Chain A
Amino acid sequence: MSSRLWRRLQQELNQASAASPGSWTWTWISSSSSCCRPRAGLRSEPCRGLSGSSRGTMNVFNREMKKRQKNWAASLQDGHQYDYLRDEVGGRVADRVYDIARTFPLALDIGGGKSHIAEHLSKDVVERLFLTDISESTLVRARRQTEIPTHCILADEEFLPFKENTFDLVMSSLSLHWINDLPGALRQIHQVLKPDGVFIGAMVGGETLYELRCSLQLAETEREGGFSPHVSPYTAVTDLGNLLGQAGFNMLTVDIDDVQVHYPGIIEVMTDLQGMGESNCAWNRRSMLHRDTILAAAAIYKEMYGNEDGSVPATFEILYMIGWKPHESQAKPAKRGSATASFGELSKISRPNNTDKS
């Protein structure tokens, strides 16, 4: 990251403190390709992650394609009808923010898009918000209203353009599943957090869209003799704890929410996913789907997973994670040898007498 970028951000922050409440200001920090060091190779080559060791970096998703898909989704006339999932998850993440009895002077929403989380937050919980997304159209056209003064920044989640120890709260809702180098991104989030700062995230994972995946796989096998992946690979909930721990977070909380949405058929599932900006952008994706395969997949989906009333379910498994940046004030495991009671004495503990309570 160039120091010029940081100085511009510092100036932004100083200016913004004079801005009136409820307003938002623009900062355009150029996207990942210009943040790359010049030795990174040809522009047309998929850019390997610069964060962390390049040996462990995977390059699964075409981020440029994802940006185009999100721009397209944001420019739809009736795009708000596809926002139901993001709204729901944004509300639940906001609930988790409220559960922490603190006021956060500076918060960051990574991949926030239309700002679904801040919609539910109030100024006494978050005083100032930075909203980043990879897609400009989403930030400009489709942003939701919130009373928190917001700065919109065009930035890639894998290349956060912020200084260390800046934010008290980092949130992310339904955007981590398109990141190539998830360990690296979590480490960057850990870096930009202040000590005793918290990261609250929600990502789709585990068994999301297994019905769609299986139907397409069976249809392609039967019709064409082989199959290619159409649904992106997800993080399992068991891996998430390890990932957060490796990134340096403390006091982890991970839980799962199963959201099942019922659709008339497979075409509506795919149309809605496209409208949400969640189309496939993996490098290994096949660029077309035969009409026979679509017909076969529709029949299989309905037969294998359909409900009595003719609708089909689509499962979204949302993984919520909370991680804290270490700080001395946080509770630590007790030192060895400091126990004052033994488990063997459990049987000797008498029940408290209710009349003694004042």
Chain B
Amino acid sequence: MSGPNVWSRSREKLRIFPELFAQCGGEAAAYGKCVAATTTGRQELTRDLCAKEFEALKTCFTNAAKKRVK
């Protein structure tokens, strides 16, 4: 740990975010497409409209984080 407080722990997590995010390109693209579709289509964006895609993305992300710790 680079420091004992929340600030330095958060910054450390943000620092490795891009690395983990890069491993979930497919899920991220699916989620992004789902949300982007609402900007052009007639359907308004409401809460949890793309919950399924987001859950897939989040699972991929947390798995990547677990793999990295190992």
Contact = CB atoms under 8 A, between A and B. Distances in A.
Interface of A: 218-219, 221-225, 264-265, 267-268, 271, 292, 294-296, 298-300, 302-304
Given A222-B50, A223-B47, A267-B14, A300 B35 contact: yes
A264 B17 CA distance: 12
A170 to B, nearest CB: 38
B36 A300 contact: yes
B45 A221 contact: yes
Given A221-B47, A223-B47, A292-B58, A264 B18 contact: yes
B32 A302 contact: yes
B47 A224 contact: yes
Contacts of B14: 267, 271
Contacts of B32: 299-300, 302-304
Interface in B1-24: 14, 17-18, 21
B49 A265 contact: no
Contacts of A271: 14
B31 A296 contact: yes
Contacts of B47: 221-225
Given A300-B35, A303-B32, 14 more contacts: A218-B39, A218-B45, A222-B50, A222-B54, A223-B48, A292-B54, A296-B54, A299-B27, A299-B57, A302-B28, A303-B31, A303-B35, A304-B35, A304-B39
A52 B21 CA distance: 50
A224 B46 CA distance: 9
22 contacts: A218-B35, A218-B45, A221-B46, A221-B47, A222-B45, A223-B54, A264-B18, A267-B18, A267-B21, A292-B54, A295-B61, A296-B54, A298-B17, A299-B28, A299-B29, A299-B31, A299-B35, A299-B57, A300-B35, A302-B28, A302-B32, A303-B33
A221 B50 CA distance: 11
Nearest to A304: B36
Contacts of B38: 218
A53 to B, nearest CB: 41
B18 A303 contact: no
A355 B21 CA distance: 71
B35 A222 contact: yes
A222 B17 contact: no
A225 B28 contact: no
Contacts of A267: 14, 17-18, 21
Contacts of A218: 35, 38-39, 45
A312 to B, nearest CB: 11
A264 B29 CA distance: 15
The list of the 8 closest CB pairs from A to B, nearest first, reads: A303-B32, A225-B47, A299-B28, A299-B32, A299-B31, A304-B36, A265-B18, A267-B17
Contacts of B57: 295-296, 299
Contacts of A298: 17, 21, 28
A300 B39 CA distance: 11
Contacts of A225: 46-47
